[in-house]
Amino acid sequence: MRVIVIGCGLAGITTAYYLRLLGAEVTVLDRSAAPAREASYANGGMLTPSLADPWNSPGAFGMLLRSVGREDASLLLRPSALTSLLGWGLRFHASSSRDAFESAYLNNVRLALYSQTTLRELLQTHPLEFEYAPDGTIKVFADQGAFEQGRLVAHWLKQAQLHHREMNRDQLLEFEPALAPAAERLAGGIHFPGDEVGNARLFCEALKAIAEDAGAVFRFSEQILEVNRRGRRIESLVTPRETLTADAYVLAAGAYSWPLGKMFGLRVPVRPLKGYSLTVPVGDDAVGDRAVGDKIVVPRYAVVDDTLHAAVVPLGGNKLRVAGTAEFAGFDVSLTPKRLANLRALLDQLYPLITAEQGSIESWCGLRPVTPDGMPLLGATARDNVYLNTGHGALGWTQACGSGQAVAQLVMGQTPDEDVSAFAPARFR
């Protein structure tokens, strides 16, 4: 079977790898010049079943409307994006009931855990280098009320086999001494040992090389100009270089699956949600006083701040990735200084002794593909030979391998190892 995969980020590369493993002839198209140059480039770097909650929690719709003009809001709506969100936003609101939110949350956790298992199996075959650290994450809380709410959620997640360790302030500082300078603003923390950390871009580059060695073809800097349809099937794609044909097509282009879907005659219910990150060096020249007493300042664990909905993540031992915030701004990928300042403020609050110069910090933003119900779109569409692997929101890295393997199996006419029927695109028809 000949398959064309559109998109060369986490979703596209994992799908291509597993398709090739199952014997398909695979061609991957991407408009960028290299793999993982969109939302997979400098994301938060965390694989977190513990953070699998959809954005549309109960009350989120009202919070979104009240966020207009507030640059410090964790979830921000730009007026320029309102038109594109009208119909989508009604579905978002309808999916924000407590029952719908909790069901989507648990479905996401299940897919995340399956994806972690799939990743570990992959690493048994191909020990890829991507700054992988399966040490867990710590969620920290600024006051006792937030800590108690976090404990309730953590206990609720035990039904999905997610284990955790609760820590008061003293226990937290003993567990992660780097947080000592921020002790006064911390009420406690929760360690989720099953979470992991890894550099998504390095993973994509390494897996692309494996897939290419196995026979997959990658074509970069190539856009789709036209999609030729006949009845319920796609016959060919036209690019500036040539016309390409295949037996099946997988749309794995992140937020751009929405406009591309229109060319395929599909309504793909994803919208772009902009996230920001800072990559901060923590070598000797980027750290001030490296010790508090005899405790090393440089963090070991990824730390998620519950108040700001952002994280500080150690990557590779020599840098920190500060990532978070969410912004409905259409396809605008410009860097907004005030949003970046929010992330720098988090770094300064948690680790005030880390003193990287502004010129050494890499600023970035990317567009997460978000569905109205907060779950990805995996599988067949209204077109007989078109499949989706998109809509993961902030969980693209967390759910990448499991989604790629499941979609590849569906394309090849197999029953996926994990039941992904809850993520079928047909739920929005």
Query: Taking all residues of the chain, what is their mean pLDDT, rounded to a whole number?
Result: 93
Percent over 70 (pLDDT), the chain? 95
Residue 399 structure tokens: 């759910």
pLDDT tens column, 80-91: 888 888 889 889
The region of weakest confidence among 62-66, 121-125, 252-256, 385-389 is 62-66
Q: Which of the four pLDDT bands, split at 50, 70 and 90, describes residue 295?
A: very low
| Strand-strand pairing, 271-281 and 362-370 | antiparallel
- Residue 288: the pLDDT is 44
Q: Which of the four pLDDT bands, split at 50, 70 and 90, describes residue 357?
A: low
Beta strands in 58-136 (DSSP E): 75-77
Report, as an integer, the average pLDDT of 363-392: 97
Q: Answer yes or no: is pLDDT of 289 > 50.
A: no
Tell which wins on pLDDT, 404 or 285: 404
Which residues does 183 contact at the CB level (< 8 Å), separation at least 6? 169, 173
Residue 413 structure tokens: 């006419």
- DSSP percent split of the chain into helix, strand, coil, nearest 5: 40, 25, 35
**How far from chain centre, in Å, is Cα 395?**
4
- Tally of CB atoms within 10 A around 412: 16
Which residues does 424 contact at the CB level (< 8 Å), separation at least 6? 377, 378, 379, 380
The region of weakest confidence among 225-234, 247-256, 293-302 is 293-302
CATH of the domain spanning 2-428, picked from 3.50.50.60, 3.90.1310.10, 3.90.870.10, 3.40.50.720: 3.50.50.60
**How far from chain centre, in Å, is Cα 118?**
17
Residue 300 structure tokens: 């070991």
Distance of alpha carbon 102 from alpha carbon 91, whole angstroms: 16
Q: Answer yes or no: is pLDDT of 293 > 80.
A: no
What residues pair up with 251 in beta bridges, in sequence order?
6, 388
Indicate the pTM of the whole model.
0.95
Q: How many helices (H) and strands (E) does the chain have?
A: 10, 22
Report, as an integer, the average pLDDT of 126-136: 96
- Residue 208: the pLDDT is 98
Q: Give the helix/strand (H/E) hosting 204.
A: helix 200-213
Percent over 90 (pLDDT), the chain? 83
pLDDT tens column, 153-212: 999 999 999 999 999 999 999 999 999 999 999 999 999 999 999 999 999 999 999 999
